[in-house]
Amino acid sequence: MSHRAVFLDRDGTVNVEVNYLSEPEQLALLPGAAAAIRQMKRLGLKVVVVTNQSAVARGYLSEQKLSHIHKRLREMLAEHDAHLDAIYYCPEMPDSGSPCRKPRIGMMRQAAEDLDIDLKRSYVVGDMASDMEMGRRAGAKTILVLSGYGEETRAQGGQADHVASDLSAAARWIESDLKGE
């Protein structure tokens, strides 16, 4: 049987939102993010980051620099015994029409193929309407976190299956949702 997964947005969900984060030194984990990822892993879920990174197409950072940022993210999480199964990113501009760009589900499809994930039994957690739309399109349950741009997204009518204050609250809701099945 295919695995369940939690697809996490990066900026504003796992780490502090920085407009066009372009240096590993700018990376700061949100409080409780590492513990939440540990909890999700304990539940037997794959944990995958899916992130739009138009900063690459805009020339603000290279894919090599982005790789360094993701390496630093993994190191910071590992310091708290938290581990990601994969990180997928889309370097395209918002108007590119790229299948990987959220709210399209290209990154989720690739992860499903690479990691044997059942998208319809999975979760998407993020702070943007595009995260929620991607989750809906994939048939996953969606959780809007109020960190990052989450408050703005909710104020603009962003729809989600559940609203959580942060990633820790999202992990607790996922655990109770799994128990309720």
The rounded distance, in Å, linking the Cα atoms of 115 and 131 is 20
Work out the number of other CB atoms within 10 angstroms of the CB of residue 83. Answer: 13
The one-letter amino acid at 89: Y
Taking a C-beta distance cutoff of 8 angstroms, is the pair 52, 96 a contact?
A: no
The DSSP code sequence of 114-156 is: HHTB-GGG-EEEESSHHHHHHHHHHT-EEEEESTTTHHHHHHT
Catalytically active residues, by annotation: 9, 11
CA-to-CA separations, 180 to 120, 173, 175, in angstroms, rounded: 16, 10, 9
Task: Classify the phi-psi angles of 157: left when phi > 0, otherwise alpha if psi is within -120 to 50, otherwise beta.
Answer: left
